[in-house]
Structure formats: structure tokens, C-alpha cells
Structure 1
Amino acid sequence: MQHRIEVSVANWSAWAPGLSTRADWQAWARGEKDFGGADEKPPCAFVKPMLRRRMSRLSRMALEVAEACREEDARPFHVFCSRYGEYARTTEILFGMARGEPMSPAAFSQSVHNTSAGLFTISHQDTAPSTTVAAGEATLEAGFLEAYTALSTGMTKEALVVYHDEPLDALYGKTEPALPAPLAAAFLLRLPRNKEETVLQLECTSAQKAASGEMHPVLQVIRLMTGAAERAQAPTPRLVWEWQRCAAA
């Protein structure tokens, strides 16, 4: 069985330590630049200081790339996707409880999976619909499917997909695909309209056997957007996802 969707990428942005501009990512795709120090955080200068102080690095990453794709007065459907979410804050809360410490309501409110989506809409007083997606190895692909569904049903004319995750702590064991560094990427999507647009096709087929990709799916899609590749594959135990950059039909 095979299924395919097609979306136009009107804008995109990505952030990782040491890589914050498209020129940085193009240099990375050519093998000329690598990730920087793991303790680096994006500035999120557009967020008011009182709110910014409460934000984790994960939320800063998500808001930084979402803001870079945001168009003035536009209200796209927001799809925030993260496999692990604010796991670092959740772990800290659980360890505190194990030590007999009271749980902080403020810490708990910032540990939920839709923290970044909530902070982004609060920062702009944006009442547009939003959702948060977590789908294991296929979290990025599920985010694109959610956006495509909203676009194809006429629910919205634009959808903003924001992927954000940090490498999982060794406490949780090894997971695939593994992120090499904290990473966030945003894609402003529309239905294809003309041949000048950058179009991504996403297909899925049944997997014949369990497999793991050599590169994280979001990094593969960034390589497509920089023009360093035309096709990419993201296998999971259940499905194989095929990405392709092409011209609109």
C-alpha cells in the first residue's frame, strides 16, 4: 500500500547550536560547518523578558524558528510536533518528588507537551487553531500529515509545522533515530499553486522489516530545502517514509 501528499513550502527556518541562518545550514549540508556547543540558546528577542525567563531552551528553539516563518497579520494553523517534548523538566520534577520535594505549579505548567505551542500563541495573542503532535519515530511526518489534512479540507490556507526536540538523556537508553544536537525547524506550508514554488512530496509504504535511518528525518528535510539533496528516506519499523523535493505539477 502506498500513499502520497504534496505541499508547497512558502518559508522555512531551522536552528541548532552554531547553525541559525540558511547560509549556516547550506554550509552544514556541504559538510563545511558542524553543530556548536550544546549549551547555546536562541535569543528569542521578540518575546517579552518576563515570559522569556520562564522558557526552557526547547521552547526558545521552537519559538525562534516559528517566528522566523511568521508573516505579519497571518494566522496559520499551528502544528507543533515533538517526540519527547519538555522531558528534561518532567525528569527534574520526578526526581524532586522522589526526594520528597513539593511540585512547583509553575514548573509543572511548563512541562506539558504543548508548552511551546501555548507560549507562541500567548506571545502574539494569537487565537488561530493549533495542535501538538507526538508520533514516535514518525513525529515529523505526522506533523506534515496533520498540516496537509487541514489544508486539503479547507480548514486553513496556511499551516505552520514546528518540529523541536533535544537529544534524549542517557538515562532513557538509546533511541533511533537519534538527534546529534538540540534542533528545531519550522515550515510554512500551503497547497501547491504554481511551478515556481518549492514542493515537498511525502509518501509512505509498508516496511518489510525494522530499519533505522542514518540521519534524523528533520535533518534530511533540511538538506532537501538547502538543495543538497532531491530525495530522502526515513524508515521506521512499521512504515518507510519517502521525501522528495520537486516542482509543482
Structure 2
Amino acid sequence: MRVFCWPYAGLGASLFVPWSRSAPESVGVYGIQAPGRESRISEPAITYLPEMIERLVGAMAEEPGLFDAPYALVGCSFGAIASLELARALPRAGLPAPVAMTVFACRAPHRVQPVGPFSTLDDEALIDRLHHDYGGVPEALRQQPELLRLFLPALRGDLAAMERYAPPADGLPLACPIFARGGDEDTQVPGDVLAEWTRWGGAGSDVRQGPGGHFLVRDKSPAALAETLRVLRPWLPS
């Protein structure tokens, strides 16, 4: 089985390196690397989610054997919204649909609040706002301007994409279940809003909250992987 994982806004595929090292041999973990970060830092960040999805679907379609096994999607915050759009776009392109999707720390699509004007704030104001609202900007990063300069363009691109986002107009759920997970200390994603993900998934969708804040997959990586593998057990080789 393959698991395609989309990280938080501004972050890259390295978030899921611990997962790829710890997952069983029967599970391949693939971190999605959008332009403007890590190995693709020389490319301009994309600020429009439909364009991001279109490019990714095209790249995945050209990858030999990528869909030879069942696959699931995992998305974190912004990555959860992007994963939903990816799950809808892949079958439209004639590719297999996911068997399941797990989302972490994200409001249900129809309950997403406008994030603007985050993307147009100056660097200091942007970092302060994110640190205040999400508590996810490490102090070490805040004190290293050279690292911030590398990180901020991708972050601004993802935030701009969310500022322009509108949930699917048809409101149709996926055929596969969605497993929504959140932290009980995440003030941006309260439990009642997290719970509304179930209307976007198929039979078997469920919601759980546990200890932690917004950056569950970063701060509690082993537990997040264990929960992902647990919900995917019905599709894993016996």
C-alpha cells in the first residue's frame, strides 16, 4: 500500500521522513513536495490550489507503477484541504481513487475561515501572527533570519492559496472514508468543526481528538503514524 502525505502550509516532504523510516515494509510513505521548498526551493511557490493540484496529478500520472497498489491520502491542516482536492481530481483524470484519507488539524472544508491577509503581512508580523494563532513557529527559527527567508516564500504561497479557496460547490462526499484527527489544545480547530469532516467522507468516516495542539504530526509523529496505520489496517496486507 502507498500513503501520499501532504504537510502543513510552508513545510515540505521531510516532515514525513520519520514515517517512511518507521512504517512497515508493506507501506510506502510518499511526502508530497510542492514547489518552493526543500528540494524544490528554486521553483516559485504556487499561490492557486487548482493549479497546484493540476500539476501534481499530471506528475503522478506520468510516474510508472505509482498506482499499482491501493493508496491512501494524509493531509495536515492546509495539506488536508489540498488532499481532499487531490482525492477528487485523481479519478477525474482517469486514475484510481484513494481507499481512505486521514486529515490532521484542519477545519472541515465548508467551515474553513478566511486566513487573509496573512500572505501580505510583512515577515515579522506574519511570524508573530502564526505563532500567536497556531503556536507552531519554533523560537530557533524565529531567531535565524536566513532560515526564515528560505521558509517564508512557500508559506506565503500556501497561505495565498487558502485565501482564494472555496469548498467544492457540489458538496459531494468522497466514496472513501475520511478519518479526521485533532488535538484538544488546538484553538483553531475545535472539536465540533473537526467533526464536520464526516460529511465529506464515505461510510466508516470518523473523528477523534487527543492530547496535543495544531502541529500533531510534527510534535507527536510516532503517535500520528500509529493512528494512521491503525485506521488503514483493513487495507493493509495481512
Give your verdict on TM over 0.5.
Answer: no
Flag the structure with larger Rg: 1
Per the normalisation by structure 1, the TM-score is 0.31
- The higher relative CO (CA closer than 8 Å, separation ≥ 6) is in 1
